[in-house]
Chain A
Amino acid sequence: MGRETSIPGRPALRVGPASWVVRLRPVLVPVIAFGLLVLAMAVNLGRGDFPIGVGDVLAVLLGGGDDTHAYIVLELRLPRALTGALVGAALALAGAITQSIARNPLASPDILGVTAGAGVGAVAVIMLGGSAGGISGGIAEFGLPAAALGGGLVAALFVFAISWQRGIDGYRLVLVGLGITAVLVAIKFYLLTLSEVADAGRAMVWITGSLNGRGWEHVTPVALALLVLVPLALFAARPLGGLQFGDDTARGLGIRVNGSRAALILIAVALAATATASAGPVEFVALATPQIAMRMAGTPQPPLLGSAVLGAALTVSADVIARTAFGVVELPAGIVTAVIGAPYLMYLLVRRYREVRT
């Protein structure tokens, strides 16, 4: 997709040096996904021990409604639903970026060890920083996401350094990611054994990828991160179209290959780590969503915006199922996403090896 080419029937939109090809399906996907998201949010806000009708929920959101409804919706359910949406969006966006860069549908932050690394960082803060009173205030709002970010970055560095042998081979990258993930999970459990029971309990809830008991303090970090990172990602993603043709062609198109790739990976790691810090590892959202969005949109690589919105919708839907499908017991949303996502990974394996033999 060179900058000056134009394809008949696909009108280009040009703003200064930037240009897009405008097509209907890629535009429709975020719109449809947004509709799904709104629907899932409405159901999520309404259902629970105290059912509230969709009309009342809307009334509260628009500033009206009675006090009970307002309290339940705004203080109890909205933070949780928002956390789910933001976390899902961040993970899916991270997955879309890594999959595009590696040109490999299996290269998601889950499999590359980024989420596991973020997990170790966050558990370390909960365990080592949280003494008797537990974590609160500054540590909770700033320390946890920062530690998760550090852990994710270090894990990503390790994975890339170890799999580097005169360039990165996609499959070696994935296998190294699996190995590093195993080490990190072991370290996480080791940290858990070190700690006191109360800390361990809190960390366990976090580890299963639960959205339970999320307050506004969990929403803020992800929201801020998304506010900064999404525009950055969209801006930095411009060379992606050229990168997918391979390093040499991309260089020929005038793209600074290593620089733009490093910047994008950094952004993806930051997104995945922030999401993991606020909700724990919500499995497979980052792996499956970009691929689904890509097939819906009919684009050659995962669409960033579509993936993000779809990720939000899927995560909130998974949380609705996890919360309400099993009677009184609430399951972590991460379990539902894993039960949906793991078969999808199997499908990817089967399909990929039918089509291309490497």
Chain B
Amino acid sequence: MERSVTVATPSGSRRSPRSGVAPQQADATVRRRRRRLIGLLVLVLVLLASVLASIAIGSKPIALADVWHALATPTGTEDDIVIGSLRVPRTMLGLVVGISLGVAGALMQGHTRNPLADPGLLGVNQGAAFAIVLSIFMLRTDDIYTLVWFGFAGALVATVAVFALGSVGRGGPTPVTLALAGAAISALLYALTSALVLLDAQSLEAFRFWRSGSLAGRDPEIVLQVLPFLVAGLVLALVNSPGLNALSLGEDVARSLGQSVMLTRVVGIAAVTLLTGAAVSACGPIGFVGLVVPHMARAITGPDYRWLLPYSGLLGAIMLLVADVVGRVVARPGELQVGIMLALVGAPFFLVLVRRRRLVRL
């Protein structure tokens, strides 16, 4: 029993059998681990820098000394209020949403074994948005705790629908069928959402916040309200990662390694649903983070999901925050929604992926 477990996680793990491995190979494993840890540290530092940039840079120029003053000893000056009640909540929101979208993207790519998987492209975001607007339309509520559950339901239904639709046929899901199924479901849900919104003024008012995918103008409370769901999703994702490693060898191999494929899939879909549903209820459909970030992370860490997921989370947060800051700077005195910025960066990346002669095999 012990032995079969060690075989199930062969690469770079603490449990990797020392005996029977050539010394230089064990050495290489240790070195790779150190490199990954250092990389993680560097990413944390970059993330801290982008958090600071997001707090310090905005349409109202505030000197760094005043920023520090506002953070350390706020006394209620105008700058303190701008930073304390606008920029800090916005930055926190970007942080948690970026982490969850990055991790959700990595999970989806792992479970679909599809390099083009992304919560935005596959219609999961639109599913959550449609369910939220539907609940506003039916229940007349704007309580985030109610809405977030509908967001989960919508995300879950859309995920399952895309998988079902994309995997029809003997060969199972291919990148193309999944992407097209996602496009079809997105288009349908977007049309239905627009119809509801046009039929009903109250939904329109509430929906304006969701459609474009923006970090601006959200209620500061929202971060705290969606935080438990995001944390639960992240824990599930991390629990899921060893199983995902086995799954990436193919379902049959995973099964023969003693992995419960069904359980791994269910945990994975639950994690994706929690992360995406919560992120969308907080700030609307934001695409392309989940697509781009896992590829960047994979270039650093290799295919091991236990490292890939934390890297994706950090990179997602960095990307979202940087895109948000750039969006504030390029269109002064107004600002560009972060969803637009990300599409401008992410879509060319998608094209490069498509143009590769052979897509990355997952």
Contacts and interface: CB of A to CB of B under 8 A. Distances in A.
Given A190-B336, A190-B340, A345 B199 contact: no
A186 B177 contact: no
Interface stretch (B34-42, B97-105, B190-198, B294-302): B190-198
A174 B212 contact: no
A339 B198 contact: no
A283 interface: yes
B20 interface: no
Interface stretch (B70-78, B245-253, B307-315, B345-353): B345-353
B170 to A, nearest CB: 6
Interface string A87-125: 000000000000000000010000100000000000000
Given A178-B183, A182-B287, A354-B168, A338 B191 contact: yes
A339 B191 contact: yes
A179 B177 contact: no
Interface string A312-343: 00000000000000100101101100110111
Most chain-A CB neighbours within 10 Å: which of B121, B166, B351, B357? B351
Q: Report the interface size class on chain B.
A: 35 or more
B236 interface: no
Interface string A177-189: 0111011011101
A331 B195 contact: yes
B325 interface: no
B135 to A, nearest CB: 20
Interface in A255-270: none
Interface string B327-350: 000010010110110011011101
A193 interface: yes
Contacts of A341: 187
A182 B347 contact: yes
B355 A162 contact: yes
Contacts of A178: 121, 179, 183, 350
B188 interface: yes
Contacts of A331: 195, 198-199
A172 B337 contact: no
A346 B181 contact: yes
Interface in A152-205: 162-163, 165, 171-172, 174-176, 178-180, 182-183, 185-187, 189-190, 193-194
Interface residues of A, number: 43
A206 interface: no
Interface in B148-203: 165-166, 168-171, 175-177, 179-181, 183-185, 187-188, 190-192, 194-195, 198-199
Contact of A283 (B168, B191, B331): B191
A189 B198 contact: no
Given A189-B340, A190-B340, A342 B188 contact: yes
Contacts of A334: 191
Contacts of B354: 163, 172, 175-176, 179
Contacts of B340: 186, 189-190, 193
B351 A162 contact: yes
A149 to B, nearest CB: 23
Contacts of B191: 283, 334-335, 338-339, 342
A172 B179 CA distance: 12
A302 to B, nearest CB: 19
28 contacts: A162-B351, A162-B355, A171-B176, A172-B355, A174-B180, A175-B176, A175-B354, A176-B351, A178-B179, A179-B350, A179-B354, A182-B343, A183-B348, A187-B344, A189-B337, A329-B199, A332-B194, A339-B191, A342-B187, A343-B188, A345-B184, A345-B187, A346-B184, A349-B168, A349-B180, A350-B165, A350-B168, A350-B169
A171 B337 CA distance: 31
B344 A353 contact: no
B344 A183 contact: yes
A284 B187 contact: yes
A308 to B, nearest CB: 23
Contact of A357 (B121, B166, B169): B169
A208 interface: yes
Contacts of A174: 176, 180
Contact of A349 (B181, B195, B287, B288): B181
